[in-house]
Amino acid sequence: MTRPFRFGIVAAPDGGPDQWRKTVLRAAELGYSAILMPDGLQLLSPFPSLAMAASIADIRVGTFVAAAPLRTPRQAAWEAHSLTVLTDGRFEFGIGTGRPGTDRMAEELGLPYGSGKERRDQIRETLDQLEQLDGDRHTPVMLAAGGPRSLALAAARADIVSIAKSALTPRDEVIGLAAELRALAGARADDIELALNLFAAGEGDLPPWTKRATGADPAELQKTDSLMLLPGTPQQMADELQRRRDSFGASYISVNANYLEDLAPVVELLDGR
């Protein structure tokens, strides 16, 4: 099934409430459908930040993604359910096992980090708790998946899946992982929306902090045709996103908030199509 495109931005209120308000309003004005916020102790908490965003504009909000080790399953489910209720169903609960450095954050909070299996089990328990709290409601769940076990979990439980691989992962490998996800999902395959996060878009040069953010040199990213990049004119970018959707099904496109304006013409060309 070919899903219509929708677009989100990945942002955080690191400039304070006025900057956050401007970012949210501008994203909504440009036609983006979602504000997605990362998780980590270096940032403000995503849950109240997203509650504020949802009150500013008629836009979806989501964690991208909440780190399971930073909260107990019951606490994470409680926060997610609360946002689903308060946003009248406009919240998407992204949850994962944690990025590098999450182990230190969990220790700071006095929480166990656990093995890979224990962290996946924590996600399962969180989703079980969320289903109980939601009752007749349903909070859409986004899972990031790259390995066999996380792909199986996503195939069984996620509404939205982001293929979690390095910035230098070849396109053919991503296509294969998407096919594996659909095979594991079986009858659920058409119910899963595939997400793709972009680090940069447009015709400008990559910023000097690219390597810190992606783990790869800018020249290497460009040389390997990284799927985290979307270079070109608006029409070239739109054409390339349609090729990516045709080849592995990605239709939910998010971009770093620094490229909010750069991707906006593509949102106008493709949103809902």
Q: Which residues have C-beta within 8 Å of that of residue 129, sequence separation ≥ 6?
A: 73, 74, 76, 77, 78
> Residue 85, class by beta-carbon neighbours within 10 Å (0-12 exposed, 13-18 middle, 19+ buried)?
middle
Higher pLDDT: 111 or 224? It is 111
pLDDT value of residue 182: 97
Average pLDDT over residues 20-39: 98
Encode burial over 121-156: b for 16+ CB neighbours within 10 A, e otherwise: ebbebbbebbbebeeeeebbbbbbbbeeebbbbbbe
Averaged confidence pLDDT in the chain: 96
**Is 248's pLDDT higher than 90?**
yes
Helix, strand and coil in the chain, % to nearest 5: 50, 20, 30
Nearest by Cα to 196 from 263, 149, 148, 134: 263
250-265 average pLDDT score: 97
SS3 call for 118? helix
Q: What is the pLDDT of residues 191-217, one digit of tens each?
A: 999 999 999 999 988 988 898 888 898
Q: In this structure, what DSSP letter does residue 142 have?
A: E
Report angle CA 93, 172, 146 to the nearest 5 degrees. Answer: 30
pLDDT at residue 39 greater than cutoff 90? yes
Tens-digit pLDDT profile for residues 126-164: 999 999 999 999 999 999 988 999 999 999 999 999 998
Rounded Cα gap, residues 185 and 70, in angstroms: 28
CATH number given to 6-270: 3.20.20.30
Q: Give the number of C-alpha atoms closer than 13 A to the C-alpha of residue 68, restricted to the C-beta side.
A: 22
Distances (CA, A) of 98 to 38, 64, 105, 113, 166: 11, 11, 10, 9, 15
Distance CA 61, CA 33 (A): 8
Query: Tens digit of pLDDT for each residue in 79-111?
Result: 999 999 999 999 999 999 999 999 999 999 999
Per-domain residue ranges of the chain: 6-270
pTM: 0.96
Q: How far apart are CA 170 and CA 235, in angstroms?
A: 23
Mean pLDDT within 15-31? 98
Side-chain half-sphere CA neighbours of 121 within 13 A: 6
Q: Is the pLDDT of residue 254 over 90?
A: yes
Identify the CA nearest to 92 among candidates 149, 50, 151, 150.
50
